[in-house]
Amino acid sequence: MSEARRIVLLGPPGGGKGTQAKRLETKHGWCQLSTGDILRKAIADGTPLGQRVKAILDAGKLVSDDEIMGVIGERLEQPDCAANGFILDGVPRTLGQAEALERLLAEKGTPLDAVVEVRVPDEMLMERITGRFFCAACKANYHDSFHRPKVEGVCDHCGSTEFIRRSDDSPETVKDRLASYHEQTEPLLPFYEERGLLKLVDGTRSMDEVTAEMERVLGV
Ligand code: AP5
């Protein structure tokens, strides 16, 4: 367990944010907070939030800032995030969310320590996303080419033999998700640069190399 840190991971869809956030959570105890995972669970559970956002995720568009900040505010209050620090994976994604997050953390007296951009060019992302699949039971992340289970057809983590793919990982939806990233999320890079928080990591390297580089820029 490392010292508590408050970190944002910024990067395009398929850039490896979720992969790295899980690794950092396991190694350092910082709680991974993925808005995508929270929204997909709400959809699977059929909650009112899930019903409101399902069509938006299926289309690869962004959910409203108010909806997202409601989700985040609740999760940050929970004891694991408050005590161990957190890695925000997939949020903020608009300038409105970045400003609201800044206000929320300032009120608590717990500002961000670092924002890490995981940079991967568009041409690599399509293959990463369309080849991705998950364990149906524990949601561990795999890839057709880059990360297969050690025993074919059996999850390394829980032994389940059922796997699923995300409904928004089709090539058409990925194009819309990439457009949302370039139009609405990239403007956050200068926002965090101005605050002296931005660190850059080359996300095209192997998963282990990316983790090592993240730890280096975070000084852990
Ligand atoms: P979200 O779930 O956040 O999706 P995303 O940002 O599109 O990111 P992904 O989960 O697709 O990619 P990732 O960067 O985590 O990559 P991964 O590690 O899986 O959001 C989904 C939707 O929810 C949005 O479209 C939006 O509708 C909504 N939403 C969520 N947050 C929102 C917000 N704040 N505001 C508004 N709407 C919001 O890696 C991808 C694949 O590549 C994996 O198979 C992995 O094994 C492989 N891989 C990873 N790293 C490497 C490597 N170094 N080398 C080779 N392969 C690698």
Nearest ligand 1 atom, CA 60: 25
Q: How confident is the model at residue 220 (pLDDT cuts 50, 70, 90)?
A: very high
Residue for token pair 């709400």: 42
Q: Which amino acid residue places its CA nearest to atom 41 of ligand 1?
A: 128
Mean of pLDDT over the chain: 95
Q: Exposed e or buried b for every residue in 184-208, given b needs 16+ CB within 10 A? A: bbeebeebbeeeebbbebebeeeee
> How remote is the CA of residue 19 from the centroid of ligand 1, in Å?
9
pLDDT in the model for residue 74 = 85
Per-domain residue ranges for the chain? 5-120+185-218, 123-169
Residue for token pair 């149906």: 136
Q: How confident is the model at residue 81 (pLDDT cuts 50, 70, 90)?
A: confident
Reported as a single tens digit per residue, the pLDDT across 27-73 is 999 999 999 999 999 999 999 999 999 999 999 999 999 999 999 98
Residue for token pair 């990360």: 147
Tokens of 70: 């409601």
Which positions are catalytic? 17, 93, 132, 166, 177
Percentage of residues of the chain with pLDDT beyond 70 = 100
CB count in 10 Å sphere of residue 142 = 16
Nearest ligand 1 atom, CA 53: 27
Mutate to test the pocket of ligand 1, among 123, 146, 210 (most ligand atoms within 8 A of CB): 146
Superfamily of domain 5-120+185-218: P-loop containing nucleotide triphosphate hydrolases (3.40.50.300)
Nearest ligand 1 atom, CA 20: 18
pLDDT in the model for residue 3 = 87
- Strand bridging mode 31-34 / 85-89: parallel
Reported as a single tens digit per residue, the pLDDT across 109-167 is 999 999 999 999 999 999 999 999 999 999 999 999 999 999 999 999 999 999 999 98
Nearest CA to 120 out of 211, 203, 183, 179 is that of 203
The model's pTM? 0.94
The CB of 207 under 6 Å from ligand 1? The reply is: yes
pLDDT in the model for residue 150 = 97
Which of 55-64, 70-79, 89-98 shows the lowest mean pLDDT across its residues?
70-79
